[in-house]
Amino acid sequence: MGSCMIVTILDIVISGLLLGGIYAVTAVGLSLQYGVARVLNIAHGEFIMLGAFITFTLYTRLGIDPLISFAICGPVVFAVGFVLYRTLFTRLRNTSPTAGAFEGNSMLACFGLLFIIQNLAILIWGADIKGYSYLAFSVDFWGARFAVNRLVTLGFAVAICLVFYFFLANTRLGKAIRAAAQDPETAGLMGVRINQVLALCFGFGALMAGLGGALISISYKIQPTMGLEYTMIALIVIVLGGLGSIPGSFVGGLVLGLVGSIVTHVEPGLSLVAYYVIFMLLLLIRPTGILGK
Amino acid sequence: MEKKTSKRVFAIGLTLLILALAAAVPVYAPVYTVILITSILMYMIIAVSWTIFSGPTGYISLASAAFFGAGIYTAAILGSAVPLPLVILLGALVSSCLALLVGGLTLRLKGIYFVMFTFGLVELLLHFILWWEVTMCGTTGRVVPPAGNATVFYAMLTILVVLILTVFLIRRSRYGMALQSVGENEEAAAHAGVHVTALKVVIYSVSALFMGAAGAAMATRWTYIDPRIAFNPLISFVPVLMAIFGGIRPIYGPIIGAAIFTYLEEFLITRFPYYYMLIFGIIMVVAILYMPDGLVGLTRRVWKRMSRSRHAHT
């Protein structure tokens, strides 16, 4: 009885961490786009969906291993994000009278993008639910069985976040991004090419979304309309971790994944409701997030 | 001064004429047109009531779908137990109570936090009611007793007329002025003696009142509803785009925006069902990029430029 309970708990924790790892990767991306580039990207989930479908197509059509296709789908979504910022959002930033107006306008423009990307995806891939099987066997851990693809997903999610964190902390470009996050005007005066850096940030945000999508496609079913739910979850995670904080988004993602896993164990229909309740309580009580100042 | 009065007489005359024409629609127009104009009226109501609060204050509320959906569910639960006018009234009431609660809790949140909260509210209600219906009732959808196309049409038209009158009354009253001052500078408004929070909450619930009424009326035309239909996030976004597309400042801005957008949506869905979202999305992005003051602002700018060049020639 005792060991059975431990196995159940272990099961909940592992699947929570798996979900959490995916949430963390996508939320780090949104955090970069909102925290630095100031675009509340409602279409974030569409980039996730793009990453998932590119990985799916490469694997089922060309037989390219999903873990290798990271190297293809990452740069593709990065380029889409970068170009969008250089054209659409840079223009909006120049024409909006205030920072607040830019936030509102760019959010609505993102809603238009959501429509465009989703429609294109339906035209290319059709509206059906899709999936593939990859590393679909399981291993034993202290009596509990775990699917290998899920463990690999979790491992890669953590690795992606770590690599990105070290990139921000230790490189010149990372420093420029952090400077732009704190104060774009001053960073510009200090010689940071601000438009370039903001566009890169938006691109990196899209990149993280794309990689998150690739990870999702390994363990879950995908469809062109899946984006909005992941956008909302990423939004909840960045509020949970504090807007603009990368470590906060990482921790927030894991926490939300664990909560989701526990709630799903008790009452499967309520996991999304639980997310929203946490989200709204947090906005009311502590809008700066759990790690925020 | 005289010119202003004659302009006003003209505006009132034009409005009455349009109303008279609109009121006659179910008599002479085919059913399809009546249904199309009903949904145009519905979007007009949501876009104008969104503008009541978000226009002057600058708070972008994405909770429209929640208030609209609250009206729909009120109608679905009441069913045929009470007559239609009472259903609409109760839908409006439930919705504005929800807005009082939400507004009281959240209107101290600033900027983007308010946007997120209001959008989260729609999803929260959607998933909670979905769970409730599946676990407690065993089904997801509900059947609403139908009310007939013409009846729903007149209900919508009445709601819109009351709404427009309300907007005029609010704008002319000192509350409208106070709301404008809140939008320009909240702290200054507070120092000038405006009860900022109370004012915001009350106006917010007035705007939800009409969305709830529209929802309750629309439910009787849709006849079958489920949480995904009632709390469709598009209802939160599209009216905002309509208002921006038409122009937020003058009251006819959102009305024109809603009319054009709804017709466009209908046209695209029937002509290009596979490309409808794509074209719609492109129009949205272009509208936001190139028409920051909406259609009304654009027309004014073009008008100004034309009259200037005419002066230059003579």
The predicted-structure confidence for B109-149, as pLDDT tens digits, reads as follows: 777 788 888 888 998 999 999 998 888 888 888 888 888 88
Residues of A in contact with B289 (CB under 8 A): 88, 91-92, 95, 109
Instruction: Pick the residue from chain B with its C-alpha nearest to A113.
Output: B281
- In this structure, the strands spanning B224-225 and B142-143 are antiparallel
Domain count, chain A: 1
- Interface size A-B, in CB pairs within 8 Å, comes to 112
Average pLDDT for residues B244-268, to the nearest whole number? 87
Report if residue B59 sits inside a domain. yes
Provide the residue range defining the domain that includes B41: 25-230
Check CB contact of B297 with chain A, cutoff 8 Å.
no
Which chain A residues are closer than 8 Å to B236 by Cβ?
A: none
Does a structural domain hold residue A68? yes
Least confident of A37-41, A50-54, B46-50, B90-94: A37-41
In a domain, A189, yes or no: yes
Most confident of A3-12, A135-144, B63-72, B75-84: B63-72
Percent of chain B at pLDDT > 70 equals 97
Does residue A168 belong to any structural domain of this protein?
Answer: yes
Q: What are phi and psi of B250, to 5 degrees?
A: -75, 150
Q: Alpha-carbon distance A137 to B185, whole Å?
A: 61
**A272: nearest CA partner in chain B:** B127
Alpha carbon distance A31, B194 (integer Å): 36
| Residue A144's pLDDT band (cuts 50, 70, 90) | low
Amino acid present at B135: T
Kind plus residue range of the DSSP H or E element containing A137? none
Q: What is the pLDDT of residue A23?
A: 93
What distance in Å separates the CA atoms of residue A76 and residue A8, rounded to the nearest whole number?
A: 40
pLDDT at residue B288 above 90? no
Q: What is the mean pLDDT of residues B268-275?
A: 88
CB of A268 within 8 Å of any CB in chain B?
A: no
> Which residue does chain A place closest to B286, by CA atoms?
A109
Determine, yes or no, domain membership for A60: yes
How far away is chain A from the Cα of B134, in angstroms, using its nearest Cα?
9
B256 assigned to some structural domain: no
Question: Which of B112, B128, B244 comes nearest A103 by C-beta?
Answer: B112
A238 within a domain of the structure (yes/no): no
Is B258 part of any domain?
A: no
User: pLDDT above 70 covers what percent of chain A?
Assistant: 96
Residue B272 lies in a domain: no
The percent of residues in chain A predicted with pLDDT above 90, rounded, is 33
B236 located within any domain = no
Extract long-range pairs of A189-198: CB within 8 Å, 24+ residues apart.
A195/A86, A195/A90, A197/A36, A197/A173, A198/A36, A198/A37, A198/A38, A198/A85, A198/A89, A198/A90
Q: How confident is the model at residue A212 (pLDDT cuts 50, 70, 90)?
A: very high
- Measuring CA to CA, which residue among A226, A198, A196, A191 is closest to residue A212? A226
Does A140 reside within a domain? yes
Inter-chain touch B115–A107, beta carbons under 8 Å: yes
Band (B314; pLDDT cuts 50, 70, 90): low
Smallest CA–CA distance, residue A109 to chain B, in Å, is 5
Q: What is the percentage of chain B residues whose pLDDT exceeds 90? A: 32
DSSP 8-state secondary structure symbol assigned to residue A87: I
- Taking all residues of chain A, what is their mean pLDDT, rounded to a whole number? 86
- Closest by Cα among A29, A42, A33, A67 to A250: A29
Nearest to B285 among A34, A112, A228 (CB): A112
Domain assignment present for residue B250? The answer is no
Note the pTM of the prediction, 2 decimals. Answer: 0.87
Question: Would you call A222 helix, strand, or coil by DSSP?
Answer: strand
Question: Residue range B214-236: average pLDDT?
Answer: 90
Query: What pLDDT is stored for residue A285 in this prediction?
Result: 81
d(CA B29, CA A29): 52
Residue B284: list chain A partners with CB under 8 A: 108-109, 111-112, 115
pLDDT for A203: 94
- Partner-chain contact A232 B109, CB within 8 Å: no
* The pLDDT of residue A233 is above 70: yes
Are B281 and A116 inside 8 Å of each other by CB?
A: yes
Cβ neighbourhood burial of A142 (10 Å; 0-12, 13-18, 19+): exposed
Task: For B65-115, write each residue's pLDDT tens digit.
Answer: 999 999 999 999 887 778 889 999 999 999 999 999 988 888 777 777 888
B63 domain residue, yes or no: yes
Interface mutation target, options B98, B109, B116, B237, chain A, most CBs of A under 10 Å: B116
Tell me if chain A has a CB within 8 Å of the CB of B115. yes
Number of domains into which chain B is organized: 1
Q: Does any domain span residue B103?
A: yes
**Does position A293 have pLDDT exceeding 70, yes or no?**
no
Matching residue, tokens 């789908």 = A73
How high is the pLDDT of residue B166?
93
**How far off is chain A from B152, nearest CA to CA, in Å?**
30
Residue A36 domain-assigned?
A: yes
Range(s) of the domain holding residue A67: 11-116+130-227
